[in-house]
Chain A
C-alpha cells in the first residue's frame, strides 16, 4: 500500500494510492494561489494598471521590465495568470486506473490530468460535484479567455533569474510546472470521462477493490471515500464539515474500523468561527450600505454564497435593506442558482422537507422573484442598464486577479465609503489586495470555512478510531504564524504519518486473509467434525480457480476411468496424476487400546516392549514392528501391501485429521 503525494496544498490535495493491484488517484486539486503573483486582468482598459512601472534589478538592469511590474513595493508578473499543477513526474499518470473526486473544489486540475498524461481510466464523482465543478471551470475559462493578453512572460522563470527576484516570487516553487488555463473543449473532454455515483454506492474496481462515496457535509454532493477490499479499509476524508449548512450531514459511522485514514481538507482558518463570521459579514454589509457605500463580495459562484444569500434573506428586512439591490455577476450565476434547487436529495433534512411540499429548497428563489436579487452573466449588457448604487455585488474570482471583480475593485477602490468583504478562505486577503494598493476602500476579512477544525478532528478520530492517520505535514505542527498554538494541530495516538509534495509513503497495514468462495458441490462434500466445543473442522482438498481477482474453490475433477478394454502399455501410465494430498495428523495412540484393536483384527502374536520414549509393538509372525511415541508412529514391515494398509487404517482410527 503506497501513497504518492502529488500536491503540497492541504486543502487542494492530489494523492495516488496503490492498493492491491489498482492505482487510484484521490482528488486533483489545482493550486491557484500562484495567480497572486500576477497582475489582475482588467475587463476594461485600466490606466492605473497600464501605467505601473517596470521592475528594475538592484544593479539597474532593466531586461525584466516588460515582464515584471511594480505596485506599492510588490512585484507582479504581467502575463496571463498561471496555475500550479500537481506533480506529474512522480509516477506515470497513464497508469492511473480511476480518479475519485471528493468535492467540486478538488477537481479543478482534472483537465490537465485526463488530457495531457495519457490517462485512460474512469473518474468517479457525484452528480452535484460534476455539475457545479463544470460551472466553476466554465467561469474560470470564461474570465481568462475573455481578456486576451498578448504577452506571455517566461524569462522570469529561468532559475538564474528567479534567484534575483524579490519575495514572494523568489520563493515560488515549481514555477516551471505552472501552466496556463485549459480550454472549454478540454473541460468537456475531461468531464466526459466522469461516471456519476451516489452516496453509499459500492463500486467494484477489477474485482479487487471496492470504493464507496460517503456524504462529507461540506458542499453539495461532497464526499469522503472508502477504499476497501474484504480485509483492509482505507478512508479518505477530504473537505468534511460537521456544521449544519445546506448539504447533507457528514456520514461518520461508515468511517469506523479503518486501517488507514487519510485526512485532508481541514479548515484553513482554524481560529475563526463560521457563525460569528456570518454575523460580522451581515453587520459590515449593512453599515456600509446605510452610509451610502457599495459592498463587494469576491466569491465562487457556488457554495457559501447560498448560505450568505439565505442569511441575507432573513436579515435584509430587519436591517432595513429591502431597497438595496443585490447583484450576482458570473457567467454561470443563473445556472448555479438553478442547479442549487434541483439537488434535493443531496441537501440537509430541512431543505429536503421543503421539496416535498413542493417548494424550492433555497430561499434565493424568492429573492429573485421579488427582484431583490438579480443575476447577470457579466458587467456588460443588461447589467449596465440596471446598475444602481449603493448596492451589493457578489462576483468572482476571489483571487481578485480575473473575473468581473477586477472591474469593481478598480471602480470602487478609491472611495472609503465602499467595502470589500472577503468570505472565501482560499487566498490571503492582503496578497489579493496588493496590486490594488494604495486603496481607500474598507477591507473586511470574514473568512467562512465550514470544514473541520482541530477540535472536531480529535473528536472524529476518537469516534471512528482508525489504526493509522495520514495527513499533510502542515497539520502536524502549529501554523507558522501561531507557533505557540499547539492546539492547532492533529493530536492522536499513534502520531499521524505526514506527507509533503512529491513524497512517496508506504502505508502501514497487514493483510492476513482473502475472500474465497466454496462452490456448493464442494461444500456438500465436506465433513465437519467438532474438535473442541464450538469449533468444527473440515479438511478441504479442492481445485483453486482465480479469475478477475476472485478466488473460487471447486471439487477436484474425478479421475478419468481407465478404459476397461485397453490394457496399459507402460508402467508410467500408473504414476499418480496429482500430488497426493493427505491431511496432517494429530493425537496420540494409547498402547493398550491399540493392542486390543490389533487382537480384535486377528493378530494373535502381539508383543509390546517399552522404550525410552514409548513402546514398540511387535507382530512376530509378520516380521513387522510398530514404534509408538507421543507424537509419532513408525510402521516397519516387509513389502506386504495389504498388511501395511490394514495397519495404517487401524492407526488412523486413533488420530485426528487436519
Chain B
C-alpha cells in the first residue's frame, strides 16, 4: 500500500531564466505550472514544446489543470498559443489581478510581434479573449477543489501585483510552486508568506541564487543619486521597464524624491498603458503593502503629480528628462527606439532595473558590449552610461532559505536560475536543511518518491477503547491497539474485530486450550492451590491474579484448577485453560508451572 508520486519537469524553466513551464504529476494528477515564453527568441523556441507532455491524445484529457503564478510574459506569454493553437479546454487558474492584467500584456506583446515585426502564425486578439474565458480566478488562501481529489491554494508572493505561490495537493501529498516571489516588502508590495504546510516538494525560483542583496534603502539611494546627477548635468535618463510592476515602485520613489527636492525636470511614462496600469493598482489596492492600503483613502499612492504621459516627439526635446519606457529588456518597442536615439551621447544614462534574458539588447549592453549590430547591419555605438540596478523583486539566497524554513518541504527543486549559481544554492540548502535538492535541466524529468501515510476511518468505539486502556497505571507504555482494517471499494475503515465479524455476518470461532500440568506436592489440594496462587502473584506483578472462592485461580482470563492425581497422591494436576486470544500468557503460565513451585513460597 505504498504510494508513488512522480514529478516530471519538462519544457522550459529548468536551468535558465528564459521561460517557465513545468509539468507536475502527483498521485495520478497532472498539473502544468505556468506557460511562459522566452523573450530571447523570435522563432519556435520562444514557446515551450508541448509535445513533451503527450505525444498523442489531447492535452485537455491529459492535464487536470493549468496554474499561472503571475502576469509576466515569461510565465504566461504562451498561454493563448497553448490553449487556442495547440488546444486545451480545461481549467486555467490565476488570481484576480493576474486575470485582469495578463490579457493586456498579451495583447501588447501580440501587437509588437505581429503588427510591428509583421510576423504571422501567431495568436490573435480573439484567441487571447477565448483563452481568458477558460480562466478561473482564485482568492488568496481559498481552497479550490479542482476535482474530488485535487485541490489548490494560492499564497501571497509579492513580486508583482497579483503574484501568487500555489500549493497543489492530492490526499496527503503536496507540491508548492513559488513562481517568482519576494521575501522583503518594497514600496508598493508586501513580502511573500506561506504557512508551515510541509510539502513533499517545494519548487522554487532561484533567479538570484547567489546574491545576497544589500539593503533596499542603499539601492534606492544609489538609484536616486544616479538619476539626480544625470539630470543635473543636463542628461537624459532612460529606464526600460515593464508597464506593470517595477515601474510603479520606481515611480513612487521618483515622485516622492522630486517632491522633496523640488526638481523640475520632467518625468515621463511611455505607452498608453500608464494610466491604465496605475488604475489597476488603485482597484487592486488590497494586493499592495500594508502602508499603501492603510492610507489609500487619504492619499492614493498611484496618483502621480510629477509623472506625465510620454509622446514620441518628446525624445528629441533638448534638456534633461527621465523616461520610463516599455519593454524592460530593450528587445523591442518604444524603449528600444529611445535607446537608439540617446545611446550616442555620454551625458545620458540607461538604468536597467531588472534582469535581461540572453539575446536581448539589454543583456548585451549589461555584459559590456558597446557596439551593437542592429537591424539592417547598422552598427550602434553605445556611449551613454549603462547602469544595472537590481530592483526586480525576486528572492535572494537569503529569501529562498527563509521560504524553505517557513514551508518545511521534504524536497526542494530549483528552477528559473543559472546552473552555476543554482549549484551553490543547492549545496547550501542540503547542508542547512538536510533535504534533497534537485536542479533539473530543461526537458529533464525528476522523480521523487514519497511515502505518504494512509488516512483511514477508525470506529469511535475502537479508538475510545484503546485510548482508555492507555489511561491505566502504566500510561508511558505504548498504547497497543488491535483492529481489523476493512477495505471495500476505496473506503478504508478500521474497526474492532468483533464489529468486523458482525458486519460480515460471521460468528466467532472460539479456540480454547486446556493443559494438564503435573506438580509434585504432597499437601492438600487447597494448600497447593494457595502455594500456586502466591507464586503467581509474586511473579506476575502487572497482572490481575485472583483466588476465587470455588478454589480456582484466575490470571486475567486464564483459569487454573487443581485436582488430585488419580493414582499418585503426591502429585497434583493443574488444569490451565485459556483461549487463543491469551495464547502468550497461557503458554507462559504452563511453562512457569512446569518448573514447579519454589520452596520458599510455603
A-contacting residues, B470-523, CB 8 Å: 470, 477-489, 493-494, 497-498, 500-501, 504, 506-518
Extra inter-chain contacts (15) besides given A575-B542, A658-B501, CB under 8 Å: A342-B284, A356-B103, A520-B452, A523-B453, A528-B485, A532-B504, A534-B489, A553-B494, A572-B539, A572-B541, A583-B482, A631-B508, A633-B509, A637-B514, A655-B509
> A586 to B513, Cβ gap below 8 A?
no
> A546 to B467, Cβ gap below 8 A?
yes
> A584 to B497, Cβ gap below 8 A?
yes
B584 within 8 A of A: yes
Q: Which stretch, B17-25, B389-397, B457-465, touches the partner chain A?
A: B457-465
> B504 to A531, Cβ gap below 8 A?
yes
> B516 to A639, Cβ gap below 8 A?
yes
> A639 to B485, Cβ gap below 8 A?
no
Q: Which residue of the partner chain, among A201, A360, A580, A584, contacts B142 with CB atoms under 8 Å?
A: A201
Contacts of A523 in B (CB 8 A): 1-2, 453-454
B-contacting residues, A526-558, CB 8 Å: 526, 528, 531-532, 534-544, 546, 551-553, 556-557
> A514 to B463, Cβ gap below 8 A?
yes
Sorted nearest first, the 3 A-B pairs with minimum C-beta distance are A580-B584, A584-B497, A658-B497
A-contacting residues, B435-473, CB 8 Å: 451-461, 463, 466-467, 470
**Distance of A344 Cα from B286 Cα, bound (Å):** 9
Which residue of B has the minimal Cβ distance to A513? B457
**Distance of A293 Cα from B137 Cα, bound (Å):** 47
Q: Which residue of the partner chain, among A358, A534, A553, contacts B481 with CB atoms under 8 Å?
A: A553
A355 within 8 A of B: yes
A202 within 8 A of B: yes
A635 within 8 A of B: yes
Known: A634-B514, A651-B511, A655-B509. A544 touches B470 (CB 8 A): yes
B308 within 8 A of A: no
> B139 to A345, Cβ gap below 8 A?
yes
Question: In whole Å, how far is B106's beta carbon from the nearest beta carbon of chain A?
Answer: 13
Known: A200-B143, A588-B509. A538 touches B467 (CB 8 A): no
Can you list 17 pairs linking A and B with CB atoms under 8 Å apart?
A: A200-B144, A231-B457, A334-B297, A356-B100, A518-B453, A534-B489, A538-B485, A540-B481, A541-B482, A580-B583, A581-B482, A582-B580, A585-B580, A586-B507, A587-B509, A633-B510, A655-B509
> B276 to A638, Cβ gap below 8 A?
no
**Distance of A199 Cα from B138 Cα, bound (Å):** 10
Contacts of A512 in B (CB 8 A): 459-461
> A580 to B581, Cβ gap below 8 A?
yes
B96 within 8 A of A: yes
Question: In whole Å, how far is A211's beta carbon from the nearest beta carbon of chain B?
Answer: 12
> A544 to B509, Cβ gap below 8 A?
no
Binding site for A on B (CB under 8 A): 1-2, 96, 99-100, 103, 137, 139-144, 172, 276, 279-280, 282-286, 296-297, 451-461, 463, 466-467, 470, 477-489, 493-494, 497-498, 500-501, 504, 506-518, 539-542, 580-585, 587-588, 590-595
Contacts of B142 in A (CB 8 A): 198-201
Question: In whole Å, how far is A219's beta carbon from the nearest beta carbon of chain B?
Answer: 17
Which residue of B has the minimal Cβ distance to A539? B484
A23 within 8 A of B: no
**Distance of A536 Cα from B296 Cα, bound (Å):** 62
B-contacting residues, A578-619, CB 8 Å: 578-588
Known: A540-B483, A584-B498. A513 touches B459 (CB 8 A): yes
**Distance of A632 Cα from B510 Cα, bound (Å):** 4
> A637 to B515, Cβ gap below 8 A?
yes
**Distance of A546 Cα from B467 Cα, bound (Å):** 9
**Distance of A551 Cα from B506 Cα, bound (Å):** 29
Binding site for B on A (CB under 8 A): 127, 197-202, 212, 230-231, 334-335, 338-339, 341-345, 352, 355-356, 358, 360-361, 511-520, 523-524, 526, 528, 531-532, 534-544, 546, 551-553, 556-557, 571-572, 574-576, 578-588, 631-639, 641, 644-645, 648, 651-652, 655-656, 658
Q: Which residue of the partner chain, among B501, B518, B539, B585, contacts A584 with CB atoms under 8 Å?
A: B501
> B497 to A524, Cβ gap below 8 A?
no
Which residue of A has the minimal Cβ distance to B539? A572
Contacts of B498 in A (CB 8 A): 584
Contacts of B100 in A (CB 8 A): 355-356, 358
Q: Which residue of the partner chain, among B139, B467, B486, B489, contacts A199 with CB atoms under 8 Å?
A: B139
Contacts of B593 in A (CB 8 A): 639
Contacts of B458 in A (CB 8 A): 513-516, 551
Q: Which label, helix, strand, loop or mixed, suits the secondary structure of the A interface?
A: mixed
> A644 to B515, Cβ gap below 8 A?
yes
**Distance of A627 Cα from B580 Cα, bound (Å):** 15
Question: In whole Å, how far is A83's beta carbon from the nearest beta carbon of chain B?
Answer: 27
Contacts of A345 in B (CB 8 A): 96, 137, 139, 286
**Distance of A298 Cα from B105 Cα, bound (Å):** 46
Which residue of A has the minimal Cβ distance to B584? A580
Q: Which label, helix, strand, loop or mixed, suits the secondary structure of the B interface?
A: mixed
Known: A535-B488, A542-B480. A358 touches B283 (CB 8 A): yes
Question: In whole Å, how far is A140's beta carbon from the nearest beta carbon of chain B?
Answer: 19
Question: In whole Å, how far is B491's beta carbon from the nearest beta carbon of chain A?
Answer: 10
Contacts of A648 in B (CB 8 A): 511, 513, 580, 583
The winner among A343, A526, A532, A579 for most chain B CB atoms within 10 A is A579
Question: In whole Å, how far is A225's beta carbon from the nearest beta carbon of chain B?
Answer: 14
Contacts of B501 in A (CB 8 A): 584, 586, 658
> B511 to A198, Cβ gap below 8 A?
no
Contacts of A540 in B (CB 8 A): 481-485, 494
> A524 to B513, Cβ gap below 8 A?
no
Contacts of B511 in A (CB 8 A): 585, 632-635, 648, 651-652, 655
**Distance of A356 Cα from B280 Cα, bound (Å):** 8
**Distance of A658 Cα from B99 Cα, bound (Å):** 56
Contacts of A584 in B (CB 8 A): 497-498, 501, 508, 581
Question: In whole Å, how far is B586's beta carbon from the nearest beta carbon of chain A?
Answer: 9
**Distance of A212 Cα from B591 Cα, bound (Å):** 60
The winner among B139, B470, B542 for most chain A CB atoms within 10 A is B139
Q: Which residue of the partner chain, among B279, B453, B478, contacts A543 with CB atoms under 8 Å?
A: B478
Contacts of B140 in A (CB 8 A): 198
> A552 to B509, Cβ gap below 8 A?
no
Q: Which residue of the partner chain, among B282, B513, B588, contacts A635 with CB atoms under 8 Å?
A: B513
Which residue of A has the minimal Cβ distance to B590? A639
**Distance of A638 Cα from B513 Cα, bound (Å):** 10
Q: Which residue of the partner chain, among B494, B584, B595, contacts A516 with CB atoms under 8 Å?
A: B494
Which residue of B has the minimal Cβ distance to A202? B143
Contacts of A514 in B (CB 8 A): 457-458, 460, 463
Known: A635-B513, A648-B511. A358 touches B487 (CB 8 A): no
> B480 to A556, Cβ gap below 8 A?
yes
Which residue of A has the minimal Cβ distance to B513? A635
Contacts of A587 in B (CB 8 A): 506, 509
Question: In whole Å, how far is B120's beta carbon from the nearest beta carbon of chain A?
Answer: 29
Which residue of B has the minimal Cβ distance to A543? B478
Known: A634-B512, A639-B594. A201 touches B459 (CB 8 A): no
Known: A344-B284, A537-B500. A543 touches B479 (CB 8 A): yes
Which residue of A has the minimal Cβ distance to B503? A535
**Distance of A188 Cα from B466 Cα, bound (Å):** 48
> B297 to A518, Cβ gap below 8 A?
no
Q: Which residue of the partner chain, among B141, B283, B457, B585, contacts A580 with CB atoms under 8 Å?
A: B585
**Distance of A360 Cα from B285 Cα, bound (Å):** 12
**Distance of A587 Cα from B511 Cα, bound (Å):** 11
Q: Which residue of the partner chain, among B297, B455, B484, contacts A517 with CB atoms under 8 Å?
A: B455
Q: Which residue of the partner chain, among A528, A544, A586, contacts B508 with CB atoms under 8 Å?
A: A586
Question: In whole Å, how far is A407's beta carbon from the nearest beta carbon of chain B?
Answer: 25
> B284 to A544, Cβ gap below 8 A?
no
Which residue of B has the minimal Cβ distance to A576? B584
**Distance of A532 Cα from B593 Cα, bound (Å):** 43
> B96 to A586, Cβ gap below 8 A?
no
Question: In whole Å, how far is A550's beta carbon from the nearest beta carbon of chain B?
Answer: 10
Which residue of B has the minimal Cβ distance to A200? B142
Contacts of B282 in A (CB 8 A): 341-342
Contacts of A201 in B (CB 8 A): 139, 141-143
